[in-house]
Amino acid sequence: MESRLFDLSSNWYLPAPAEQVWAIIADVDMSWPQWWPGCSFAAPLERWPTESSSQADILKATTAHLSFKAFLGYTLTISIHPTRVVASREIEFDAGGHLEGTGRVTLMPEDRGQATRMDIEWRVRPTEHWMNMLTPIAAPAFTAAHALLMRQGEKGLIKALTAVPKNSPVDPSTSP
């Protein structure tokens, strides 16, 4: 039995310029667990040698293993490996672990560059036997758990962004 493909999308509205959002979400040290409730490292970052020290090359040479605690009581461990990076605009990645597939995060400036819309797309299949067995009846609950987890991430990122002064210079190669 082939597992079901989940096509999931989220739109986050963030009160900061795209460069400031990028500095946090594309942090080469993967600061997500610091601001995303329910997110933690499942293992240390894996990083391979790169040809340059550019942020894009470092990101593409990195795999993060993260655990996400869903409100339904289960935890999913997911590996995220960037495959394409367009600075301050887009990251595409492969996902592995309990969910396998691909994803993309796209940043679009709004409100004359003072705010950012972040579109997040996931095309993943569960790899856990229990999830595949329950998917025919529990797919709406899994989708709702995903939506809630994403809202928690959005709120956490907004909080992290509002802790950084809007007029301060942002170096995209470092985290705030």
Query: What are the structural domains of the chain?
Result: 7-162 (3.30.530.20)
Question: Residue 110: CB partners within 8 Å, gap ≥ 6?
Answer: 13, 116, 117
> What are the pLDDT digits (tens) for 37-72?
999 999 999 999 998 999 999 999 999 999 999 988
Query: What count of other Cβ atoms lies within 10 Å of the Cβ of residue 175?
Result: 18
CA 83 to chain centre: 14
Residue 171: per-residue pLDDT: 47
Residue 111: per-residue pLDDT: 95
Rounded Cα gap, residues 59 and 50, in angstroms: 10
For the chain, which ranges sit under pLDDT 50? Answer: 171-176
The contacts found for 102-106 with CB under 8 angstroms, 24 or more apart, are 105/25
Residue 176: per-residue pLDDT: 43
Strands 6-14 and 39-47: unpaired
Q: Where are the beta strands (DSSP E) in the chain?
A: 6-14, 39-47, 62-69, 75-86, 90-97, 99-110, 115-126
Residue 174: per-residue pLDDT: 46
